[in-house]
């Protein structure tokens, strides 16, 4: 009995190889309705895998990624150094949309003429450097340094203040003024007035028509006095002695 080998029991767990395999459903026979519970039981849930798009070799179907505020490099903030302009600043303001005064054609020609006057060292500088000592004031080139007449664009004035005024009356109801009736009634936003008003240009025209004749006539303010009236005004006798005049002195 001692020579017989001892039997040791071994336990082996059977592995089911078909755990992850999906069984095919039997096709239902015609005429049999399939319930919704059976459809839901056959659904397969897959877990979405997130890709690290920061890596250049990792690609995905998504076109772009969300950009945070910290990744934006160009950021601008106002320095709040602007000063509010007043009515006094508007009167001394100048236009700066043209070429700078020290760079336009007139300034360049003035610098050239000033350089020619300064360089007088009696040296020959070629035929192209000939200088004309006769200043022709009747030409554009000769009068460029002293006036605004020159070749090229004329320098525009930059200190002109323009004030525009439109002389019309949009606040009076036109229908009520012409016909005395307005379809809007009391809700009309314009003034219901049938008075006659004259614009500024009409008043100026009447003033010129009335006073223009006085300006054209040089004898408008001259007091006319005829010789007959002057003779009638003379006394016929002396006021002191009450007698007729004897050898009176006639003056002009």
Summarised one tens digit per residue, pLDDT across range 124-180 is 777 777 766 666 555 555 555 455 455 566 666 766 666 776 656 568 888 998 898
Once rounded to an integer, what is the mean pLDDT over residues 200-204?
A: 84
Question: In which element (H, E) is residue 175 found?
Answer: helix 174-179
Instruction: Return the DSSP state at 172.
Output: B
Name 232's Cβ contacts closer than 8 Å, sequence gap at least 6. Answer: none
Tokens representing 218 are 């040089």
Shortest CA distance to 112 belongs to which of 151, 158, 154, 153? 151
Residue 37 reports pLDDT greater than 50: no
Exposed, middle or buried: residue 103 (CB in 10 Å: 0-12, 13-18, 19+)?
exposed
Once rounded to an integer, what is the mean pLDDT over residues 197-224?
A: 75
Residue 40 reports pLDDT greater than 60: no
Range with lowest mean pLDDT among 86-100, 111-125, 139-153, 182-196: 139-153
Higher pLDDT, 169 or 55: 55
Once rounded to an integer, what is the mean pLDDT over residues 186-208?
A: 85
Residue 252 reports pLDDT greater than 80: no
Tell me how far apart the alpha carbons of residues 93 and 160 are, in angstroms, rounded to a whole number: 9
Shortest CA distance to 155 belongs to which of 100, 112, 114, 111? 100
**pLDDT interval class at 239 (50, 70, 90):** confident
State the pLDDT at residue 111: 82
**pLDDT interval class at 182 (50, 70, 90):** very high
CB atoms within 10 A of CB 144: 21
Range with lowest mean pLDDT among 24-28, 104-108, 136-140, 217-221: 136-140
Residue 98 reports pLDDT greater than 60: yes
Tell me how far apart the alpha carbons of residues 67 and 64 are, in angstroms, rounded to a whole number: 9
Higher pLDDT, 210 or 121: 210
Once rounded to an integer, what is the mean pLDDT over residues 231-248?
A: 78
Q: Phi/psi of residue 191, each to 5°?
A: -80, 130
Exposed, middle or buried: residue 106 (CB in 10 Å: 0-12, 13-18, 19+)?
buried
Max CA distance (Å), the chain: 210
C-beta separation of 213 from 205 below 8 A: no
| Percent of the chain scoring above 70 in pLDDT | 41
At 191, is the secondary structure helix, strand, or coil?
strand
Dihedral angle sign, alpha carbons of residues 116, 122, 125, 131: positive
Dihedral angle sign, alpha carbons of residues 112, 118, 120, 121: negative
Tell me how far apart the alpha carbons of residues 61 and 47 are, in angstroms, rounded to a whole number: 17
Residue 226 reports pLDDT greater than 60: no
**pLDDT interval class at 195 (50, 70, 90):** confident
At 116, is the secondary structure helix, strand, or coil?
helix
Domain assignments of the chain as residue spans, ordered by start: 100-114+132-159, 174-216
Q: Which residues pair with 191 in a beta bridge?
A: 172
Task: Tell me the Cα Rg of the chain.
Answer: 55
Tell me how far apart the alpha carbons of residues 193 and 177 are, in angstroms, rounded to a whole number: 6
What's the pTM? 0.23
**pLDDT interval class at 225 (50, 70, 90):** low
């Amino acid at each position: 009995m001692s020579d017989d080998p001892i039997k040791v029991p071994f336990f082996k767990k059977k592995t089911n190889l078909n755990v992850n395999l999906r069984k095919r459903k039997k096709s239902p026979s015609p005429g049999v309705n399939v319930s919704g519970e059976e459809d839901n039981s056959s659904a397969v849930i897959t877990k979405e895998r997130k890709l690290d798009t920061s890596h250049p070799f990792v690609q995905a179907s998504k076109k772009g990624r969300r950009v945070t505020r910290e990744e934006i490099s160009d950021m601008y903030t106002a320095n709040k150094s602007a000063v509010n302009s007043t009515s006094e600043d508007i009167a001394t303001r100048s236009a700066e949309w043209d070429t700078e005064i020290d760079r336009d054609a007139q300034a360049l020609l003035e610098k050239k003429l000033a350089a020619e006057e300064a360089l007088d060292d009696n040296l020959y500088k070629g035929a192209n450097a000939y200088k004309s000592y006769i200043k022709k004031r009747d030409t554009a080139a000769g009068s460029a340094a002293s006036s605004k007449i020159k070749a090229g664009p004329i320098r525009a004035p930059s200190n002109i203040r323009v004030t525009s005024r439109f002389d019309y009356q949009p606040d009076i109801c036109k229908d009520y003024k012409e016909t005395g009736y307005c379809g809007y009634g009391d809700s009309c936003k314009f003034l219901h007035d049938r008075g006659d008003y004259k614009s500024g240009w009409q008043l100026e025209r009447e003033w010129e028509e009335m006073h223009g004749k006085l300006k054209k006539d040089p004898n408008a303010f001259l007091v006319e006095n005829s010789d007959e009236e002057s003779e009638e005004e003379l006394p016929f006798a002396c006021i002191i002695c009450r007698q007729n005049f004897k050898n009176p002195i006639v003056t002009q």
